[in-house]
Amino acid sequence: MSDFRDNASRRPILSHASRPLTVTIAAWNECGERVPTAIAGEFPLTLYVDRREIVTLMTLGAAPEALAIGWLRNQRLVTRLDDIASVQVDWDSDAVAVTTRHGLRDADERLGSRTVTSGCGQGTVFGGLMDEIDAVRLPADRRLTQATLYALMEAVRHHESIYKQSGAVHGCALAAADGDACRILMFVEDVGRHNAVDAIAGQMWLDGLEGGDKIFYTTGRLTSEMVIKTAQMGIPFLVSRSGLTQMGWEIARRVGLTMIGRAQGRHYLLFTGEERFSR
């Protein structure tokens, strides 16, 4: 199984088609006063690969090219960035066209097996990813300290976000420890947490970033889908301000992922991977 360290020498040709992330509408408060209010955008984006329609994603439109690449990567439909020749987004037709160099990996077999997940807006997982999870190898020597965890939570709290303006979105962050400090490398918001994680996955691939020394943060629930995608990126630490599901917990234990939930302020619950965590 290839990993995110396999960054190709040939980057795909990309459009740069981010949409405005909020629009302002009129609302009325409890006093009957008219209040201009920012709300999050939401747009359908149909993914075509080599002219074949694959899936329609509901998205904020913040990073549609990275979203398409990350979605294909996390579904195991492409194994290297070099497999992708171009990614072109056209909002007039609400479509993203991906052209590959050699076609999709086992496309008929993988696209024929679909699981609708518990992700916001109903995420979809193709191709029996559960069958491949045992091939994931996370670095055993990485450690996360409580001080770094607190620094991450503080950094996320101060991060400017669409959620603060309008609500109605989930956010995901990729972070790196710097001693007991923590730096946010990427912060992506979308209408579903699965879209946000896919966009970060795609951007990591485009930037050639490894996951072994990173921390992944999400505002959403720690479901099986979130755990699988984090593990596929090679990231050993997964943190959320929300809770978890039983399947998410079981898979995290299975792959050796350190998973922390209910993380707000100075409170958190360490669910799995306690051998990597120190107070």
233 CB-near residues (< 8 Å, 6+ apart):
4, 200, 201, 204, 211, 214, 216
Residues of the chain with pLDDT under 70: 1-9, 110, 112-131, 160-168
Residue 268 is classified by DSSP as E
CA-to-CA separations, 243 to 82, 156, 189, 196, in angstroms, rounded:
37, 17, 19, 18
- Each residue of 206-260: pLDDT tens digit? 999 999 999 999 988 888 889 999 999 999 999 999 888 888 898 998 999 999 9
For residue 160, the model assigns a pLDDT of 61
Helix (H) or strand (E) holding 23: strand 22-28
Q: What is the pLDDT of residue 190?
A: 87
Helix ranges, 75-192 (H): 107-111, 146-158, 162-166
How many Å apart are CA 152 and CA 179, to the nearest integer? 12
Closest CA to 40 of 159, 157, 164: 164
- pLDDT value of residue 208: 93
pLDDT score, position 126: 47
| CA distances, 96 to each of 60, 67, 70, 122, 200 (Å) | 14, 10, 13, 20, 17
At 216 the three-state DSSP class reads: strand
pLDDT at 47: 95
Q: Which domains does the chain have, with CATH numbers?
A: 13-133 (3.10.20.10), 144-278 (3.40.140.10)
Q: Residue 98: its pLDDT value, please?
A: 98
pLDDT in the model for residue 128: 56
